[in-house]
Structure 1
Amino acid sequence: MRRFSLVVTATLLAFSSSAFARDTRVEQSLADLLSSQEARDVGIDGSVRFYLAGQPVTVLERLGQDVSNRKTNAANKSDEKACRWVALSTLLALQDGAKARGANAVVDIVSFYKSNEFRSATNYECYAGAILAGVALKGTYAKVP
């Protein structure tokens, strides 16, 4: 009888945890994020510019491609707030990568969550759950005028 109870309990826990799992897609404006006080507060300093795929930009030299994939605690935060925070962390990593390579821009940026590409000339994509929010961005380090 005890063994049966353990099996039933384990089965119920397995199904209940997957029932509470959430991965809500949130799309937000990159321009709004970059022009925010939050961006300045975390160190997005304007020395590296960010261009989503589809935005017009003249590229003088390409210096390699990279993916930045970050997660953040989303507990007790709105999806929008958690997504803004994790997107800033992701952009900060790309900014640091650009500086290390002598680039002044990251171009052709696409969202790359779970290796699925999302292209927009205005927005990035985030996925938020009850516990975590995540943003993955893929872009090319470049020198621009």
Structure 2
Amino acid sequence: MASRSAQSLASSKRSAAPATRARSGRASRVLTLVSALLLGSAGLVASAPAVARDTQHFLPIMPVMASTAASQRLGKDVAFFFGDKQPYERIEKRGWARVNPKTNATNKSDAEACRWVFLSALRELQEKAREYGANAVINIRSDYDKVPYSSSEKYECHAGNIVAGVALRGDLVILHPKN
């Protein structure tokens, strides 16, 4: 009889082991499912569009044009006239140009990034003027997102966390001295 109860006890232990394994298997599947749901949710949050900063600035032109950086980067062979100022009576129009440079704004103030990209935009206009045989760019106006802003005193710049940009448009001309 003792051997029967030992067999019975051993048999009940064997039948209990699969039940325990089944429970731990279910728990493992539930844990895997919860982990997958959490990872999927994190992926959705990470892939959601971030709200980027796009701060609009209207900054003065003269301090930039009077800077050492401007004289070093631009030289004197192409003249720049902002807004609707007409510098000479005799103007020979050669074409027009639109430039839209961007610059890295990381670790820079908005003003610093905007000054740099404004000079880059003027340099691109200068290169276009040279290509067209022009000695001046007149009627320079901001043209950010193709929305014109004309001023003889200020330019428009948009600065974000990573990038700053200026868009300028101007007429490429040859200025002839007054007679």
TM-score in terms of structure 2 length: 0.73
Kindly indicate whether residue 74 of structure 2 is the aligned counterpart of residue 44 of structure 1: yes
Question: Partners in 1 of 2:174 and 2:39 — Cα distance?
Answer: 61
Offset at residue 98 of structure 1 (A): 0.7
Offset at residue 8 of structure 1 (A): 1.9
Structure 1 residues 60-99: aligned runs within 5 Å: 60-99=91-130
Match in the other structure for 1:8: 41
Match in the other structure for 1:123: 154
Question: Partners in 1 of 2:163 and 2:117 — Cα distance?
Answer: 10
Structure 1 residues 100-139: aligned runs within 5 Å: 100-139=131-170
Offset at residue 3 of structure 1 (A): 4.5
- Of 70, 85, 106, the residue aligned with 1:55 is 85
Q: Deviations over 1:54-92 (max 9, x none)?
A: 223235111111111101110000000000001111111
User: Structure 1: 5+ residue runs without aligned partners?
Assistant: none
Q: SS in structure 2 opposite 1:60?
A: strand
Q: Which runs of 4+ in 1 moved over 4 A?
A: none
Question: Partners in 1 of 2:86 and 2:40 — Cα distance?
Answer: 59
Q: SS in structure 1 opposite 2:167?
A: strand
Match in the other structure for 1:24: 55
Match in the other structure for 2:8: none
Given that 2:86 and 2:138 are in contact with CA atoms closer than 8 Å, whether structure 1 keeps it comes out as: no
Match in the other structure for 2:6: none
Higher normalized contact order (CA 8 Å, seq sep 6+, divided by chain length): 1
More helix by share: 2
Percent identical across equivalent pairs? 37
Q: SS in structure 2 opposite 1:103?
A: coil
Alignment: residue pair count = 142
Between Structure 1 and Structure 2, whose CA radius of gyration is higher? 2
User: Structure 2: 5+ residue runs without aligned partners?
Assistant: 1-32
Question: Partners in 2 of 1:55 and 1:80 — Cα distance?
Answer: 25
- Of 121, 141, 144, the residue aligned with 2:172 is 141
Question: Partners in 1 of 2:40 and 2:146 — Cα distance?
Answer: 36
Match in the other structure for 2:15: none
Larger mean Cα displacement after TM superposition, 52-61 or 121-130: 52-61
